[in-house]
């Protein structure tokens, strides 16, 4: 565990009436690591991400970014600080071109947007960054097509690319592989692996093969509680995890 | 890239439209008089109001049902200011009113911006149907406020001593007034065009499409929406001031929800989110109204089905049909 701690959750608890969606969760994200968050459906993974990104307010607990408390900051302020997220349900701007999607994401990190006069699509600074992102995600051929015309796998790549605009130190990726076929998973796994160098990544993912290939550390969430957290080997060997979540099948499959 | 109409078709449409408007006074002279100039002046004025509404409805998905209030405010500022100037009664803050557009126009826009700032702070906390209702409620409040202002005619309205004036131009001359309105429409269209293509306009379109994502990207969508609301609210009084001058009369009906509704119909009929559509929509609505009303007093009976037809058959309104972008 080398890198500096960028994002830290302390005792995060989220209650919905009677339901305890997150119970006293501690978690940290370090620079240079991919930290996978796994658990069965309904374990509270997306709820946790929403509280880290600022969309949901925790019932109790704190979120710290670089040691500074950000629990009260709204989502857009946290995004400007450098906590960025992608969505489980593809959430791109469908009517806009890929170029406009990315340029809009980049623009959020180029000062305020109360600029009323000059044509935005002619701004070279924004366009260059957008093109760089597109190339990184293999979308350069698609720049001038509307996002709605992309294949599902490409939309998922655009989804992650949007979160990467502005080079945020912290990335919260909510099931980036959702709904992609095996071929696309391979490509995206390679891309995500490259993120480790510059970002601290929290990866929520159901694809166990991808998780074991990518993760430096794994935290397992069941019924809103952390039942285990540690290295990939430790999690694989943990009997409680095997019982609660990982079927023997998926473990063997991933071991192949 | 633009998926819109071909560049040539667009040029022909815009060039043809501009040419028609430029020679309109002479065309109407051929058909017997200044009446048609007056009709088209009204179209130009309402086109300005419709464009300003399109900025928030079409680009921001903020369906305001109270936009006429800002038009009414503009008209009343021009009328009250002129009223005080001609009666020699001081108005407020040592200001004794003016009959000049150069004074009344900025004043009207400032008043509308102020009102929009205050109401917008509240209205924009809501969305969808709630936003429609709350903008309607504020407009109705202003309506009843002006109904109760007996000093300015109350329900009966207020007659202007004359059209607001401008140096070098005789606004009392219908033809010159027509070209003043045309000039201001073109200027406003140009400004709106710059706005929607700017960084700000892009943020507005993004917020319309996916607000959750916009916030996750780092945009304070509330602030941008408020700015858009205020900007749109400063366009309508431009139309209001001109309308007060054109008819030399204002009444609280200018604040009515019927007029707000008509502005919405113009925007939807012409095609939302294209600016030009608002102009086409204003022209189509007012000319049809004029023509059908001369023919039968039950004109709404015929206009209604036409609106339904356009909304159902042409997804991008009349502008979409003209540019071949409809469906």
Q: For position B106, what pLDDT does the model report?
A: 95
Which tokens hold the place of B26? 């002479």
Q: Phi, psi (5° rounding) for residue A179?
A: 80, 10
CA distance B268 to B262: 10
Tell me: the pLDDT tens digits for A143-168? Answer: 999 999 999 989 999 999 999 999 99
CA distance B207 to B59: 9
Q: For position B161, what pLDDT does the model report?
A: 86
Strand pairing category for A34-38 and A225-230: unpaired
Helix axes B35-60, B174-197, angle to 10 degrees: 10
Chain B residues within an 8 Å CB radius of A94: 209
Q: Which residues of A touch B (CB under 8 A)?
A: 53, 55, 74-77, 79-80, 84-85, 87, 91-97, 100, 103-105, 107-109, 113-121, 123, 144, 146, 162-163, 165-166
CA distances from B151 to B89, B139, B255 (A): 12, 20, 18
**Whether A76 and B218 lie within 8 Å, measured CB to CB:** yes
**pLDDT 10s per residue in chain B (327 long)?**
344 557 888 889 999 999 999 999 999 888 877 889 999 999 999 999 999 999 999 999 999 999 999 999 999 999 999 888 888 777 777 677 788 899 999 999 999 999 999 999 999 999 889 999 999 999 999 999 999 998 898 888 898 888 888 888 888 888 999 999 999 999 999 999 999 999 999 999 999 999 999 999 999 999 999 999 999 999 999 999 999 999 989 999 999 999 999 999 999 999 999 999 999 999 999 999 888 888 888 888 888 888 888 888 888 889 988 888 765
Which tokens hold the place of B4? 């819109």
**Whether B212 and A119 lie within 8 Å, measured CB to CB:** no
- The answer on pLDDT for A47 being more than 90 is yes
Q: Judge whether A156 and A90 are in contact, CB under 8 Å.
A: yes
Helix (H, G, I), strand (E, B) or coil at B240: helix
CA distance B250 to B72: 8
Instruction: Please tell me which of A190-199, A223-232, B213-222 the model is most confident about, judged by mean pLDDT.
Output: B213-222
CA distance B296 to B290: 10
CATH number reported for the structural domain that contains residue B140 in this entry: 1.10.3470
CA distance B164 to B195: 28
Q: Does residue B1 sit within a domain?
A: no
- The answer on pLDDT for A254 being more than 70 is no
A27 Cβ partners below 8 Å, 6+ apart? A8, A9, A12, A35, A37, A48, A202, A219, A226, A229
Specify burial of residue B159 (Cβ count, 10 A radius: 0-12, 13-18, 19+). Answer: middle
Helix (H, G, I), strand (E, B) or coil at B224: helix
Q: For position B5, what pLDDT does the model report?
A: 56
Kindly report the nearest CA distance between residue B232 and chain A, in angstroms: 13
CA distance A163 to A142: 18
Rounded (5°) CA angle B70-B74-B79: 145
Q: For position B71, what pLDDT does the model report?
A: 97
CA distance B132 to B221: 18
Helix (H, G, I), strand (E, B) or coil at B158: strand
Q: What is the model's pTM? A: 0.91
**Whether B198 and A115 lie within 8 Å, measured CB to CB:** yes
Q: Does residue B223 sit within a domain?
A: yes
Q: How many C-beta atoms surround the C-beta of residue B23 within 10 A? A: 10
- Chain A residue nearest residue B215, CA to CA: A76
In chain A, % of residues over pLDDT 90:
71
Q: Does residue B133 sit within a domain?
A: yes
- Chain B residue nearest residue A90, CA to CA: B213
Structural domain containing residue B120? 7-323
Per-residue pLDDT, averaged over A7-33, amounts to 93
Chain A residues within an 8 Å CB radius of B209: 93-96
Q: Judge whether B158 and B152 are in contact, CB under 8 Å.
A: yes
What band does A192 get if pLDDT is binned at 50, 70 and 90?
Answer: very high
Q: Judge whether A165 and A108 are in contact, CB under 8 Å.
A: yes
Q: Does residue B316 sit within a domain?
A: yes
ipTM: 0.91
Kindly report the nearest CA distance between residue A109 and chain B, in angstroms: 8
Per-residue pLDDT, averaged over A189-218, amounts to 91
CA distance B238 to A72: 42
**Whether B198 and A76 lie within 8 Å, measured CB to CB:** no
- Chain A residue nearest residue B207, CA to CA: A93
- The answer on pLDDT for A185 being more than 90 is no
**Whether B213 and A87 lie within 8 Å, measured CB to CB:** yes
Kindly report the nearest CA distance between residue B223 and chain A, in angstroms: 10
Kindly report the nearest CA distance between residue B316 and chain A, in angstroms: 14
Q: Does residue B2 sit within a domain?
A: no
CA distance B21 to B181: 11
Kindly report the nearest CA distance between residue A219 and chain B, in angstroms: 24
Chain Cα centroid distance, residue A157: 12
- The answer on pLDDT for A226 being more than 80 is yes
DSSP-derived secondary structure for B70-118: HHHHHHHHHHHHHHHHHHT---BTTB----BHHHHHHHHHHHHHHHHHH
Nearest to A120 among B202, B210, B217 (CB): B202
Tell which wins on pLDDT, A253 or B192.
Answer: B192
A123 Cβ partners below 8 Å, 6+ apart? A103, B199
Q: Does residue B255 sit within a domain?
A: yes
- The answer on pLDDT for A253 being more than 70 is no
Q: For position A247, what pLDDT does the model report?
A: 59
- Ordered by where they begin, the domains of chain A are 5-255 (3.40.50.300)
- Chain A residue nearest residue B210, CA to CA: A93
Split into its structural domains, chain B has a count of 1
**SS3 sequence of chain A:** CCCCEEEEEEEEEEEECCEEEEEEEEEEEECCCEEEEECCCCCCHHHHHHHHHCCCCCCEEEEEECCEECCCCCHHHHHHHCEEEECCCCCCCCCCEHHHHHHHHHHCCCCCCCCCCCEHHHCHHHHHHHHHHHHHCCCHHHCCCEHHHCCHHHHHHHHHHHHHCCCCCEEEEECCCCCCCHHHHHHHHHHHHHHHHCCEEEEECCCHHHHHHHCCEEEEEECCEEEEEECHHHHHHCHHHHHHCCCHHHHHHHHC
Nearest to B215 among A75, A118, A123 (CB): A75
Q: For position A204, what pLDDT does the model report?
A: 95
CB-based contact, B202 to chain A, within 8 Å:
yes
CA atoms within 13 A on the CB side of A134: 22
**Whether A75 and B197 lie within 8 Å, measured CB to CB:** no
Which tokens hold the place of A79? 């995004």
Q: What is the sign, positive or negative, of the torsion defined by CA atoms of B300, B64, B103, B186? A: negative
Kindly report the nearest CA distance between residue A32 and chain B, in angstroms: 22
**Whether B218 and A108 lie within 8 Å, measured CB to CB:** yes
């Amino acid at each position: 565990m080398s890198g500096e701690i960028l994002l830290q959750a302390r005792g995060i608890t989220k209650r919905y009436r009677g339901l305890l969606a997150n119970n006293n969760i501690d978690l940290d994200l370090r620079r240079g690591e991919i930290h996978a968050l796994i658990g069965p459906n309904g374990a509270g993974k997306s709820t946790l991400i929403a509280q880290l990104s600022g969309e949901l307010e925790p019932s109790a607990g704190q979120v710290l970014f670089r040691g500074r408390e950000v629990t009260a900051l709204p989502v857009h302020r946290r995004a400007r600080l450098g906590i960025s997220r992608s969505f489980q349900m593809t959430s791109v701007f469908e009517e806009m071109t890929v170029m406009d999607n990315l340029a809009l994401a980049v623009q959020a990190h180029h000062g305020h947007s109360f600029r009323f006069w000059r044509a935005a699509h002619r701004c070279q600074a924004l366009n260059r960054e957008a093109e760089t992102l597109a190339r990184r995600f293999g979308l350069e051929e698609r720049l001038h097509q509307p996002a709605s015309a992309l294949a599902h796998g490409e939309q998922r790549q655009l989804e992650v690319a949007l979160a990467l605009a502005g080079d945020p130190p912290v990335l919260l990726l909510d099931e980036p592989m959702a709904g992609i076929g095996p071929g696309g998973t391979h490509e995206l796994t390679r891309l995500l692996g490259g993120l480790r160098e510059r970002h601290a990544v929290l990866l929520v993912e159901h694809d166990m093969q991808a998780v074991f290939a990518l993760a430096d550390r794994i935290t397992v969430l069941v019924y809103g509680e952390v039942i285990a957290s540690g290295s990939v080997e430790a999690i694989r060997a943990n009997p409680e995890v095997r019982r609660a979540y990982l079927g023997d099948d998926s473990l063997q499959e991933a071991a192949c | 890239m633009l998926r819109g109409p071909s560049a040539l078709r667009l040029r022909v449409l815009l060039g043809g439209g501009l040419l028609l408007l430029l020679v309109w006074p002479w065309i109407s002279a051929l058909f017997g008089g200044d009446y048609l100039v007056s009709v088209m002046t009204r179209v130009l004025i309402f086109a300005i109001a419709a464009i300003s509404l399109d900025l928030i409805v079409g680009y921001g998905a903020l369906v305001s049902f109270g936009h006429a209030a800002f038009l009414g405010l503009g008209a009343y500022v021009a009328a009250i200011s002129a009223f005080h100037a001609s009666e020699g009664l001081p108005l407020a803050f040592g200001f004794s009113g003016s009959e000049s557009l150069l004074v009344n126009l900025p004043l009207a826009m400032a008043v509308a911006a102020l009102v929009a700032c205050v109401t917008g702070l509240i209205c924009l906390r809501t969305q969808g149907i709630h936003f429609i209702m709350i903008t309607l409620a504020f407009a109705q409040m202003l309506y009843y406020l002006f109904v109760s202002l007996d000093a300015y005619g109350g329900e009966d309205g207020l007659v202007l001593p004359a059209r607001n004036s401008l140096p070098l131009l005789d606004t009392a001359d219908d033809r010159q007034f027509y070209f003043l309105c045309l000039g201001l429409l073109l200027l406003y269209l140009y400004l709106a065009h710059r706005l929607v293509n700017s960084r700000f306009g892009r943020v507005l379109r993004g917020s319309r499409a996916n607000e959750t994502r916009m916030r996750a990207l780092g945009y304070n969508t509330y602030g941008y929406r408020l700015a858009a609301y205020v900007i749109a609210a400063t366009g309508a009084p431009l139309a209001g001031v001109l309308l007060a001058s054109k008819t030399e009369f204002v009444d609280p009906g200018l604040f009515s929800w019927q007029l707000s509704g008509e502005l919405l119909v113009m925007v939807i009929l012409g095609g939302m989110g294209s600016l030009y559509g608002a102009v086409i929509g204003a022209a189509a609505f007012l000319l049809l109204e004029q023509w059908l009303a001369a023919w039968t007093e039950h004109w709404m009976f015929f206009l209604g089905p036409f609106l339904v037809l356009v909304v159902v058959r042409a997804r991008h309104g009349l502008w979409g049909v003209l540019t071949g972008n409809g469906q």
